[in-house]
Amino acid sequence: MNYVIIGNSAAAIGTIEGIRQVDKTGKITVISDEKYHTYSRPLISYWLMGKVTDRNIYYRGADFYEKNGVETMLDARVTKIDAAAKNVVLSDGNTVPYDKLMVATGSKPFVPPMNGMDKIASCHTFMSYDSVKAIKAEVKPGMKVLIIGAGLIGLKAAEALNEYKADITVVDMADRILPSILDVRAGSIMKKHIESKGTKFILGTSVDEFSEHSAKLKNGATVDFDMVIIAVGVRPNTELVSEAGGKVERGIICDLTQKTTLDDVYAAGDCTVSHDASSGTDKILALLPNAYMQGEVAGKNMAGEETKYENAIPMNAIGFFGLHIITAGSYDGEEYVEENGNNYKKLVFRDGLLKGFILMGDVKRAGIYTSMIKERIDLSDVDMDMLKERPQMMMFSKSRREEKLGGIKR
């Protein structure tokens, strides 16, 4: 069997490890437009702030490709999938044939058109090892940095640049921060926390016009800068599949085996649409664990072991300036909320199930809540006072504990 994987991040590595659980000898070729050994994309902010070394940014050991019998074609770009001929075409015109193809192309930074963007002296995105290397080459203490976007990427960039004593202003059209994972109240606690570390926010407005070293905002304010970082969001890289005739909506459409609508073509990670089991809706779940697990399931299927990827939910574990957040599921339902300083807890119940939660500050043992969402644990079998108090195995029935902790199979 001849496997070809486009991409070299978490979904690609999941695919390789999935294939190798089933097929120890098939040929695997990884094609990536980046020149690096597989590295962890979420670690780029840690690398920039000096908390991860050049060696530790790599997602797998230096011998990973060799140990898994993987040939790499790095710094090479696929321009076309020929699904009929079963090959991929590279930008240099060469073709690479496949029996099974994985599209793990991820996403790219979304850079909306803004007036005067071409005049900005130093403009960056925050998505790749190369992007943080370029930022690091320029950053200086006291440097004024304007970050467009108060989401996960923009605020991770702010945290990293704060280590360089940069003077940081974050502008976002929304009137709150981290709206993809936090509710209004938790967002406000986190905003205060980040402000206390020196980062400034200007919310509810956007840039009217850039000049070389300043931005005029629509609310009338002007922000001077030495560097701009655009972090308003990402867009999935779906073109290869759509141009080959595969079904693409907001992302690449896959079945539960991660196969696209094209024969022998699979996809995984941030370029795909997932089914959110907590809300029952289809959406892009751009999360590393989701990418890896989709890739692993795809890899097994590509190698002939039928398996499905089910119970995906949105979930995030992230911290900013030492304040941690763990969230999962969806927030539509009856709420239980506790707040104490920087500690915030929201549990969301619907249809007799735990559907979602936000934990900020004290995030210990949050996975017990996550498992209740994924496994749809009936709340009538759970001690609700204990559930609300903290995540604990004590809230479950003795028989569930025997199964979970005692190795008793039922």
Partner 1 sequence: MKKVYVNEDWCLGCHLCEFTCAAANSGAPDMIKAFAGGKKPVARIQIEEGDKINFAVQCRHCDAHPCVKGCIAGALSVQDGVIVCDEEKCVGCYTCVLSCPYGAIVIDEAGHKIRKCDLCTRNSHGEPACVKACPNNAIVFEER
In the complex with partner 1, which residue's Cβ is closer, 12 or 78? Answer: 12
Exposure letters 286-308 (e unless 16+ CB within 10 A, then b) = bbbebbbbbbbbbbbbbbeeebe
Minimal distance in Å, beta carbon 160 to partner 1?
Answer: 12
Cβ closer to partner 1: 189 or 315? 315
> Please, which residue, 243 or 375, has the CB nearer to partner 1?
375
Query: Which residue, 368 or 382, has its beta carbon nearer to partner 1?
Result: 368
Q: Which of 106/246 has CB closer to partner 1? A: 106
Q: Name which of 113, 123, 111, 120 is nearest 210 in CA terms.
A: 120
Write phi, then psi, for 208 (nearest 5 degrees). -85, -45
Q: Minimum CB separation from partner 1 for residue 345, in Å?
A: 14
Q: Least distance to partner 1 from the beta carbon of 64, Å?
A: 9
Cα(94)–Cα(32) distance, integer angstroms:
14
The residue type found at 319 is G
Q: How near is the Cβ of 33 to partner 1 at its closest, in Å?
A: 21
Which parts of this chain interact with partner 1 (CB under 8 A)?
14, 40, 42-43, 46, 51-52, 56, 58-60, 288-289, 292-293, 296, 315-319, 324, 326, 328, 363-368, 370-371, 375, 391-394, 398, 401, 404-408
Question: Smallest gap, in angstroms, from Cβ of residue 296 to partner 1?
Answer: 7
